[in-house]
Amino acid sequence: MKSRKDVVMTNPENGSPRPAPGPDASLADVEADIARTRGELAETVEALTDKLDVKSQAQHKAQEVKQAAGEQLHAAQAQGSALLDQARDSATDMHGNIRPVVPVLAASLVAVVIFIWWRKRR
């Protein structure tokens, strides 16, 4: 069994060794060291408990995924809105009237679709 002077604790702030109080330490020093060690142990146990809590981890990950999906949705909506504005600008003149080319193209497209449908029926 190790004696008290052989025990070396690690400093949680920087990971450097923190020696235990020596044999000439006062009762207050030993009690302070015990209190500090208990606090560190409580933090370690809490960290391990959080790490091993699968339900909590799953909820946290679900929240992250939900937030990321919301951000992507907003980005897609903004991009769709910009494309719609661009299409409107392309299809209308300065006064907001539909350009004459648009109905001609639409009628041509309908004629092509009807022709293809008619050819397939024959």
Series of mean pLDDT values for 10-residue runs along the chain (122 residues): 54 66 82 90 90 89 95 94 86 78 85 92 80
Does one domain contain both 87 and 100? no
The whole-number pLDDT of residue 15 equals 65
The helix (run of H) or strand (run of E) holding residue 10 is: strand 8-10
Within this chain, do residues 47 and 35 fall inside the same structural domain, yes or no?
A: yes
Q: What is the CA radius of gyration of the chain?
A: 36
Please give the single-letter amino acid code of residue 93. D
Return the closest-CA partner of residue 25 out of 1, 43, 10, 7. Answer: 7
Whether 24 and 42 map to the same domain: the answer is yes
Number of domains in the chain: 3
Q: What is the DSSP string of 71-94?
A: HHHHHHHHHHHHHHHHHHHHHB-T
Q: Per this entry, what is the length of the chain? A: 122
Range of the domain at 97: 92-122
> What pTM value is reported for the model?
0.41
- For residues 63 and 80, membership in a common domain is answered with yes
pLDDT at 89: 82
Shared domain check, 69 and 31: no
